[in-house]
A and B are shown apart, each in its own frame.
Chain A
Amino acid sequence: MSDSTDRPLVEAVLSNAPGAFERLVREYQDLCWHIIYRMVRHPEDARDLCQDTFLRVHRTLHQYRYESALKSWIGRIAYHIALRHLERKRIPIFDVVQDSDLPALVENLSDGFDLEAAYADLDMAVRLHAAIEALPPLQRTVLTLYHLDELPIGDIAAITGLAIGTIKSHLFRTRLHLREVLESAHGVLP
């Protein structure tokens, strides 16, 4: 959706056009769900938080100034609601990784290892899913927004309030980590 499609929808919701808000929810519920479910992981909590997000959108839509895409604006609300939920539960949202760990990690990766073939093994697929689930909330969310929702890095930065370089770094390190998990599970890495 772009400004040209956002504007009529926002104006329809603000003028209480029948079905307009439901249309808005339908349009953005997947994005909202991906952000919140990836952050909090608990389905019941995530559903409640998704509802809270859209109720807040309904209450504050008159404050939306078209300075960013509506998608980013709603995503930012969802992200902050999930973030506050995690803070209340004292769950850290990302791992502190030392930059000095990276070169060793990159050098240890095998060039010739065929992950495609290894993945045919069901156990490897299960391991990969488990590794994704075990990621810290922020990294999991960034990966999902980038790969599943196909959001550009700039939009992810707008949603999370992080710098573009930080998002790139999270993507890079997390995918590297997943590769390492798979290769070490297959006995390639020391």
Chain B
Amino acid sequence: MNHTPQPPHDEAEEREWLMQERAAEASRLGSVPDDATPTPYGVIVRTLRQPLDENLPADFACHVAEHARRRASINMYFELVSSWILCGILMVIMTGLLIHFGTDWLKPIQSVLPLHAMANEWVAALVACLLVFNLINKLLDARMRTVH
């Protein structure tokens, strides 16, 4: 398959090509060529312009559109489930980190935020969790909007 055929290049081939093209043009316009010279390609071109013997069913577009919609909603469902699983894993990791390093982090936070409520490390952890949860929800909403 390494042989690339070349376009017509000599005079006889060029004449033949012009004859073919004249027949194609005439068939497109539904007329005879200007110089009315009969071309042997007329019948060939007319045959090539005939509709194919088989066609797609009449409801093809409707059927494919429905198929695509179903497939997209299945994909979206799996994406949603995967997102929730990833969020769950993230929450577990964050909770673990908070439990492990929470007291170390709380001291500098307390010094910056002199709120009494923050003095309790569990309240701070809860606020952090709620913030993360809200953030993830917002991200998921934004993703859903782009999918729809």
Contacts and interface: CB of A to CB of B under 8 A. Distances in A.
Nearest to B40: A115
B48 A148 contact: yes
Contact of A132 (B12, B42, B47, B54): B47
A26 interface: yes
A22 B20 contact: no
Interface residues of A, number: 61
A117 to B, nearest CB: 10
B58 to A, nearest CB: 11
B16 to A, nearest CB: 6
Nearest to A133: B53
Nearest to A99: B6
A189 to B, nearest CB: 12
Contact of B13 (A26, A47, A106, A119): A106
Interface in B29-65: 38, 40-45, 47-52, 54-57, 60-65
Contact of A129 (B7, B47, B64, B148): B47
A109 B8 CA distance: 16
B62 A43 contact: no
A131 to B, nearest CB: 9
A46 to B, nearest CB: 8
Nearest to B21: A171
Interface string A144-187: 10111010000000000001011011111101101100110000
B5 A173 contact: yes
B44 A128 contact: yes
B8 A172 contact: yes
A76 B68 CA distance: 20
A25 B5 contact: no
Contacts of A146: 24
Given A51-B67, A147-B45, A172 B20 contact: yes
A125 interface: yes
Contacts of B44: 115, 128, 175, 178-179, 182
B5 A170 contact: yes
A188 B11 CA distance: 23
Given A99-B5, A147-B48, A168-B7, 6 more contacts: A34-B52, A54-B64, A58-B72, A107-B12, A148-B48, A175-B45
Interface of B: 1, 3-8, 10, 12-13, 16-17, 20, 24, 27-28, 38, 40-45, 47-52, 54-57, 60-65, 67-69, 71-72, 148
